[in-house]
Amino acid sequence: MTEGNFVDYVKIHVSSGNGGKGSAHLHREKYVAKGGPDGGDGGRGGHVILRGNKNLWTLFHLKFKRHVKAGHGEHGSKQRSTGADGQDEIIDVPLGTVIRDTETQEVLHEITEDGQEIVVAEGGKGGLGNWHFKSSTNQTPRYAQPGIPGEEHDVTLELKILADVGLVGFPNAGKSTLLSVITAAKPKIADYEFTTLKPNLGIVEYRDFKTFVVADIPGIIEGAAEGKGIGHRFLRHIERNSTLLFLIPADAKDIKKQYEILLDELRRYNPEMLDKDRLIAISKSDMLDSELKAEIKKELDGSLGAPYIFISSVAQQGLTELKDKLWEMLNKETV
C-alpha cells in the first residue's frame, strides 16, 4: 500500500431512514359491506451500520464519502400490507476502528472483530396502520400513526492499527530497515529523517509456520505528545500493540537518555502504555567492536528496566535472537 492511500482518520455525516407512515385505509369490496379498517403498518427506516472487515487496512475508501444516508421505509397500504423496510447502509471498516461522536469526542464503539456490526444511526420505526386502533367503541378508525424520523449524527472514525509488536524510535533509527529485513514489507528507506510518513505493517515468519505482526510507527521526537513533529499523529497506533520494541542506534550519543525520552513521550500521551512489555534493540551494532559492546553493556546493565539486545539489520546480526525474544514475550502466558 502506498503512503498516500493510508488514511486513519475521517469524519462522516450519517443519516438513517425515516419510518414509513401507517395506512388509514378502509376495506372496500363489492360483496363485503362495511369491511372495516385494513390499513397496514409502515416499514422501518434503514440503519447505518459499520461492519468490521479483516481484509481492510485503511479508511481510504471513506476519504471522499463524507455523507452516508440509508433508505426510507415504505408506507403501509391496504389489506394490512406492511411497507418495505428502508435499505440499510453498511460501511466496511478495518479492525481497530474507534467510533467517536464528532461534537463531544465521546467514544461510542470500537470494532475489533471481523463481521462485528455496530448500528451508528438507527432507522425510524414505521407507524401503525388503522386496523390496530379498532375497538368495540371505535369500529372504523380513520387515522394511523406517522413514521418516526431517522437519526442524523456526525461521527469520527479513527483507526488504531492492530499489531502484535510496535516499533518505537527516533527518526532514522533503522525501524524501516529492520521491518524490510524481518518481513516482506517494502517500506521507504532513505538516509534522512522522517522517511516514514505513514505506519507500515509487516508479517514476521517464525519457526514452524508461526507468524506475528509488526508495525513500523513514524519517528517520535521529544515533545511529540504535545504535537511536535509527526509522531504525535500516530502515537494512537501504539496503543493496540501488546509489545513495544524500542530501536535505538548504537551511534546515539546517550542510549539510556534516548530510551527515557521515548518512554516519557509514551507516558505523557497515555500512561497505560508503560504497562506493555518492552524490549530494547540497539541497532546498527555492526559498527561496534567487542570492546565497545562490553563498554555499552557495562553502562546499560540494570539501568534500563527492560531487556536489551544488539542487532544489525544490514549485517543480519542478532535477528534470530530478536525474533525468539519477541515470540517469547508475545506468548509468555502460554509458554
pLDDT digits over 56-86, tens only? 878 888 888 889 999 999 999 988 889 999 9
pTM over the 0.85 mark: no
Kindly provide the b/e burial profile for residues 96-116, where b requires at least 16 CB atoms within 10 angstroms of the residue's own CB: bbbbbeeeeeeeeebbeeeeb
Q: State the average pLDDT over residues 41-54.
A: 94
- Domains defined along the chain, listed by start: 1-161 (2.70.210.12), 165-331 (3.40.50.300)
Q: How far apart are CA 293 and CA 144, in angstroms?
A: 84
- Strand ranges (E), 160-242: 165-169, 200-205, 211-216
pLDDT digits over 119-150, tens only? 999 999 999 998 888 888 888 888 899 999 99
| Burial class (CB within 10 angstroms; exposed 0-12, middle 13-18, buried 19+) of 275 | exposed
Residues placed in the known binding site for Mg(2+): 176, 196
Residues placed in the known binding site for GTP: 169-176, 194-198, 216-219, 283-286, 312-314
pLDDT digits over 282-317, tens only? 888 888 888 888 888 888 887 778 888 898 888 888
- Strand ranges (E), the chain: 9-15, 48-52, 67-69, 89-93, 97-101, 107-111, 117-121, 152-159, 165-169, 200-205, 211-216, 243-249, 277-283, 308-310
Q: How far is CA 65 from the centre of its chain?
A: 18
Q: How far apart are CA 266 and CA 275, in angstroms?
A: 11
Residues placed in the known binding site: 169-176, 194-198, 216-219, 283-286, 312-314
